[in-house]
Amino acid sequence: MARETVGGRIDVAIDGVPYSTAGEIDLDESNIEPDAVVNQDGTINRTVKPSPYSAKVKMRNTKDLNIQTLMGKIFDLTLSEKDIRRTTLFTDAFIKGKASRNTATGEYSEFEIVSDKLTRF
């Protein structure tokens, strides 16, 4: 029986410009957040609230990356998962939170990219 590849290498582009990531990317590909509320008799009900699609990213500090410019703009983020042949596009995305840089590793972390538009192909 053949095995299925479920993860692997990824290419990242912002507005078509490729960038180096510093590791794994965590994707939230759902724009809803279900929850449970408990009634006084112990039964539960389901609630659902909207949430943005998101990608938690660590970027490598390269000469091409201007984090201040990136944090101040709206952009399209393309994530191409090479080994599973899947592309995810976040349209009209922006950075939420602050981007802190580790001077030893050159990693920008602690930020996530959010959008209300996600397309997979």
Worst-scoring range by mean pLDDT, 36-40, 42-46, 106-110? 106-110
Is the pLDDT at 8 greater than 90? The verdict is no
Q: In the predicted model, is pLDDT for residue 113 greater than 80?
A: yes
More confident residue, 22 or 2: 22
Residue 1 has pLDDT above 70, yes or no: no
The string of DSSP letters for 21-49 reads B-S--EEE--SEEEEEEE-TTS-EEEEEE
Amino acid 62: pLDDT: 84
- pTM confidence score: 0.86
- Sorted by where each starts, the structural domains of the chain and their CATH numbers stand as 10-120 (2.40.30)
Reply yes or no on whether the pLDDT at 2 is more than 70. Answer: no
